[in-house]
A and B are shown apart, each in its own frame.
Chain A
Amino acid sequence: MPHVQADSAKAQTSGARPGRLALVVAVGLLVWALPRPADVDPRAWRLLAIFVATVVGIIAKPLPMGAVAVTGIAAALATRTLTITEALSGFAQGTVWLVVSAFFLACGFVKTGLGARIAYALVSVFGRSTLGVGYSLVATDLILAPAIPSNTARAGGVIFPILQSISKTALGEDPIKGRQTSAFLTLTAYQGTVITSTMFVTAIVSNPLVVQLAAAQNIIITWTSWAVAAVVPGTVSLILIPLVVYLLCPPAVVKTPEAPVLARSALAALGPMKRSEKLMGLVSVILLVAWIFGTALRLDATAAALMAIAALLVTGVLSWDDITHEREAWNTFVWFATLVMMATFLGSLGLIKWFSGQVGSIFGGIGWLPGFLGLSLTYFYSHYFFASTTAHVSAMYAPFLAVALALGAPPLLAAMVLGFFSTLFASLTHYGTAPAPILFGSGHVSLGTWWKVGGVVSVVNIAIWLGIGAAWWKVLGLW
């Protein structure tokens, strides 16, 4: 599994970048020193200052995200804003361990080679045309998405190597036409992973964060309810978006008879399915069933995931070393638990309630529908300024949701739409979510094309999700 974020952490060895650290401290002190409104709990206000400084730190990156989180906890402890029990409570959160477990599952998919096998099998069946290869890559991503909470692991770890080998063959045959074909496949894979990331809570780390932030405002979203709400607009997007890319960035060759041949020889090289691959497949199918029927089985999603990890360990598919060496999981564990903890206490100390009250009274005259549309479009397109979905969600999701609720938007609808937009907006740029730099870095797509396609795709996605999606959610009774 590629450790993209951690690599950038490695490059920086001499501690915090002083200028950016000063900015973070200044922002924190500023909020801290602002006159506290009389009806806000003093601890809530102090926590707000620390939280804002932490989020600014996650965006400005004076230190890697995890180190910023630890520093945020230290600040909360040193200023007696939180007790040690409160400060550590995030590390025992179910959602946090759902994410950690899913990272270990991802590790199993990559380690056993099951992910690559699925991709090759799909290409060997559907890969006779360029569009077919594109759809095969997207389908692989979709199959892996529910159990791999890192689109970096999917798009970077599984899809990218296969994409590269197909591109290499195409470029070898005809450099100019091959480049156009590679550009199409790269963009399809990227726009596809953006959509699959939107469809499941466990498809990207920022989705569980959304669930947790919504829960802090008393809106309960389960794994199943998210997936059901996303399935209709998601499927439409998965079908239409590759066609949009096909129109805007057409491949030079329409037929790719060599792709299925390539995939078949790759499959032959992999040999028959190994014991570990079969077990990995079996465990993930069972887990998926457990997630889908979670409420009926009275089985929490995290409990099911932990049992799956135990099964993989006991059968030797994963070794304990794989788990302790999975740095990205532990990195995510620390920063994710910290953000969840802070958001929970901002909610329980009454800050969000106060904020909504304030905003509600200001926007009293506006109907919720135009207000919510404005909010969600602002939320979407502000992603041009963010290099990570997590940074964006931690900075903007909670206040935007609070405002939407204050305007009178249906709670579950508002929480879900903002949640879906929290990954769809990654389509815009070549830095919108972690796999973007990997795929863009292959050099097959020019920057101008990437942004043009991203812009058009974003409009199509918004139309699909707010049009077909809204109708589907009406059917589901979300509003």
Chain B
Amino acid sequence: MREPARVHPISPAPVQVQPKPPRSERQTHGVRAGRLALVFVVGAALWMLPRPATVDPRAWQLLAIFVATVVGIIAKPIPMGAMAIAGIAAALATRTLTLAEALSGFANATVWLVVAAFCFATGFIKTGLGTRIAYHLITLFGRSPLGLGYSLVMSDFMLASAVPSNAARAGGVMAPILRSICKTAIEEDPVRGRQTSAFLTAMAYQGTVVTTAVLVTGSVANLLALEFAAAQGVAITWSGWAQAAIVPGLVSYAVVPFIVRLLCPPGVFKTPEAPSAARAALARMGPMKRGEWLMGLVSLGVLTAWVLGTRLGLDNTASALIAIAALLVTGVLTWDDVISEHETWNTLVWFATLVMMATFLGNLGLIKWFSAEVGAAFGGVGWLTGFIGLCVTYYYVHYFFASNTAHVSAMYAPFLAVALALGSPPIVAALVFGYLNGLSAAVTHYGNASAPILFGGGHVPLATWWKVGGVVSVANLAIWLTVGSVWWRTLGLW
């Protein structure tokens, strides 16, 4: 039942299910020349547009480079990290940024929080602790398909507090377990087993979508959103995000699985064999190993430090780095694990680059100028009407995005700026766009990095996936904007 341990747990899973680029695409040496030309043209066009007199020339140049970089992240002429390096090089070559400015993102604390969290992900998967948690939950709740689904969603949630990659959680923990459950079910009864598998897969995915929204650490895109909000002067803490999300999140956790069950019903209603299979798997894993104990202990310690952060006067990143040092000294992680996990370094480069560019767009006054322009244009519209329109647009535009990160980098900052210019309450606006970003992934089978992994299992037909996604997206939007806004009123956020 257990997957053989992988050496570099985070990366291989998403890679193996990545759809191959269509044959028609002209690729020379791994570079799609047409798309690269597009990126360049967009940047050059923006660069040459007449700069409004009140905008700093450097800000305008940086805007052109930033937009080109984001277009590159979406169109992918070269991978995201390579695009980021090219963006930095462009900023340096055009003297838009000094070297110290261009590199400043690499010393950003949030960036290193993400790096540390990737090391946690490696630890969870390498020690097998993530898998053990999932099996334990299945022995407790797995007697029905719904219970099985909740067990997977709960283990995903527990991991999400320290593992900011839904691809790592889905690929490293959920997908392997799901695969073995589905295999057993289909062997017993091909037709019903397939239906049950479809239900479990869809539920696991929709669950991870909610989790991605509820916890800042649910996805790197959330941390990026926090940095973008901070660049516009809206400060959101880790616990502030979770506190505002918990009530609408719980409602979503309660409602969404029932929608999935309605639209994609499981073939059976009892799965008495699942808990015993999980028990057998646990027996095969043996008693908890030293590495698992230490991993659990260290992550509890970090979580405590994060929750009590402000009271301890300890920065989130500082506690994460101390925890990584503890894992290294105790040998739970080896240094080789850390440097070989190429996903970490990939994320470090693109994340640091985007954070840096966004920071300087803010510092150089571009966002302020943009908000003032938009505010003047929409002077007559009430903020509530305007804000709801913005939210719905922001949400459903995700049909066109294959990644939460691409969505945040392209749209979060301007949408937040417009919302603020309309007079929306800053914290609520910043939070809602953050939550909607995670939730919007519900709609497609490419909506976030975990979607292709779970969809790649092959149990859910494409039409069903989109149908479930469409209905769930409406439910989530309704829950978060109604229940959510009441709760945020109670919290005094608006």
> A residues bordering B, Cβ < 8 Å?
6, 9-10, 12-16, 21, 63-64, 66-67, 70-71, 73-75, 77-78, 83-85, 87-94, 97, 275-276, 300, 302-303, 306-307, 309-311, 313-317, 319-321, 323-325, 327-328, 330-331, 334
Q: Which residues of B contact A84 (CB under 8 A)?
A: 109, 315, 317-318
Q: How far is the CB of A283 from chain B (nearest CB, A)?
A: 12
Closest B residue by C-beta to A307: B89
Contact with A along B317-331 (1 / 0, CB 8 A): 110011011101111
**Do residues B324 and A74 form an inter-chain contact, with CB atoms below 8 A?**
yes
30 contacts between A and B (CB under 8 A): A6-B336, A15-B329, A63-B328, A63-B329, A66-B339, A67-B328, A67-B338, A75-B325, A77-B315, A77-B322, A78-B318, A84-B109, A84-B318, A92-B107, A94-B99, A97-B103, A275-B29, A276-B29, A300-B92, A303-B99, A307-B92, A307-B93, A313-B82, A313-B85, A314-B36, A317-B29, A320-B80, A320-B82, A330-B344, A334-B339
B112 interface hit (Cβ, 8 Å): yes
Q: Which residues of B contact A302 (CB under 8 A)?
A: 99, 103
Distance in angstroms between the alpha carbons of A175 and B28 in the assembled complex: 48
B254 interface hit (Cβ, 8 Å): no
**Do residues B31 and A316 form an inter-chain contact, with CB atoms below 8 A?**
yes
Set A88, A313, A328: member contacting B86, Cβ < 8 A = A313
Q: In chain B, residues 300-347, which have Cβ atoms closer than 8 Å to a Cβ of chain A?
A: 315, 317-318, 321-322, 324-326, 328-332, 334-336, 338-340, 342-346
Closest A residue by C-beta to B116: A70
**Do residues A310 and B89 form an inter-chain contact, with CB atoms below 8 A?**
yes
Distance in angstroms between the alpha carbons of A360 and B345 in the assembled complex: 45
Set B81, B325, B330, B336: member contacting A70, Cβ < 8 A = B325
Q: Which residues of A contact B318 (CB under 8 A)?
A: 77-78, 84, 87
| Given known A15-B332, A63-B335, A64-B335, contact A316–B29 (CB-CB < 8 A) | yes
| Given known A77-B322, A317-B29, contact A16–B331 (CB-CB < 8 A) | yes
Set A10, A88, A300, A324: member contacting B334, Cβ < 8 A = A10
| Given known A9-B335, A63-B329, contact A91–B106 (CB-CB < 8 A) | yes
Q: How far is the CB of B114 from chain A (nearest CB, A)?
A: 12
Distance in angstroms between the alpha carbons of A334 and B330 in the assembled complex: 19
Contact with A along B100-138 (1 / 0, CB 8 A): 101111111100100000000000000000000000000
B186 interface hit (Cβ, 8 Å): no
**Do residues A67 and B79 form an inter-chain contact, with CB atoms below 8 A?**
no
B30 interface hit (Cβ, 8 Å): yes
- Size of the chain B interface, CB-CB below 8 angstroms: 53
**Do residues B31 and A74 form an inter-chain contact, with CB atoms below 8 A?**
no
B152 interface hit (Cβ, 8 Å): no
Closest B residue by C-beta to A333: B345
| Given known A91-B112, A94-B103, contact A306–B321 (CB-CB < 8 A) | no
**Do residues B29 and A331 form an inter-chain contact, with CB atoms below 8 A?**
no
**Do residues A324 and B336 form an inter-chain contact, with CB atoms below 8 A?**
no
| Given known A16-B329, A88-B108, A92-B103, contact A319–B335 (CB-CB < 8 A) | no
Q: Which of B104, B339, B343 has the most CB of A within 10 A?
A: B339
Distance in angstroms between the alpha carbons of A71 and B349 in the assembled complex: 22
Closest B residue by C-beta to A10: B336
Beyond A6-B336, A307-B89, list 10 extra A-B contacts (CB 8 Å).
A64-B335, A71-B329, A84-B109, A89-B107, A276-B29, A302-B103, A319-B30, A320-B79, A320-B80, A320-B346
Distance in angstroms between the alpha carbons of A92 and B173 in the assembled complex: 34
Q: Which of B28, B105, B107, B324 has the most CB of A within 10 A?
A: B107
**Do residues A327 and B93 form an inter-chain contact, with CB atoms below 8 A?**
no
Distance in angstroms between the alpha carbons of A9 and B338 in the assembled complex: 11
Distance in angstroms between the alpha carbons of A43 and B82 in the assembled complex: 40
Q: How far is the CB of A320 from chain B (nearest CB, A)?
A: 4
**Do residues A90 and B335 form an inter-chain contact, with CB atoms below 8 A?**
no
**Do residues B342 and A325 form an inter-chain contact, with CB atoms below 8 A?**
yes
**Do residues A74 and B322 form an inter-chain contact, with CB atoms below 8 A?**
yes
Q: Which residues of A contact B346 (CB under 8 A)?
A: 320, 324
B88 interface hit (Cβ, 8 Å): yes
Distance in angstroms between the alpha carbons of A390 and B99 in the assembled complex: 25
**Do residues B93 and A92 form an inter-chain contact, with CB atoms below 8 A?**
no
Q: How far is the CB of B184 from chain A (nearest CB, A)?
A: 34
Q: Which residues of B contact A70 (CB under 8 A)?
A: 321, 324-325, 328
Distance in angstroms between the alpha carbons of A398 and B228 in the assembled complex: 40
Q: Which residues of B contact A324 (CB under 8 A)?
A: 81, 342-343, 345-346
B78 interface hit (Cβ, 8 Å): yes
Q: Which residues of A contact B339 (CB under 8 A)?
A: 6, 66, 327-328, 330-331, 334
**Do residues B331 and A15 form an inter-chain contact, with CB atoms below 8 A?**
yes
**Do residues B315 and A67 form an inter-chain contact, with CB atoms below 8 A?**
no
Q: How far is the CB of A28 from chain B (nearest CB, A)?
A: 13
Q: How far is the CB of B66 from chain A (nearest CB, A)?
A: 16
Distance in angstroms between the alpha carbons of A63 and B339 in the assembled complex: 14
Closest A residue by C-beta to B334: A13
Q: In chain B, residues 27-42, which have Cβ atoms closer than 8 Å to a Cβ of chain A?
A: 28-31, 36
Distance in angstroms between the alpha carbons of A323 and B345 in the assembled complex: 9
Task: Rank and list the top 6 A-B pairs by shortest CB-CB distance, nearest first.
Answer: A15-B331, A316-B29, A310-B89, A74-B325, A324-B342, A92-B107
**Do residues B109 and A331 form an inter-chain contact, with CB atoms below 8 A?**
no
Closest B residue by C-beta to A276: B29
Distance in angstroms between the alpha carbons of A275 and B31 in the assembled complex: 14
Q: How far is the CB of A430 from chain B (nearest CB, A)?
A: 25
Q: Which residues of A contact B331 (CB under 8 A)?
A: 13-16
Q: Which residues of A contact B342 (CB under 8 A)?
A: 321, 324-325
Q: How far is the CB of A351 from chain B (nearest CB, A)?
A: 22
Q: Which residues of B contact A309 (CB under 8 A)?
A: 85, 89
Closest A residue by C-beta to B346: A324
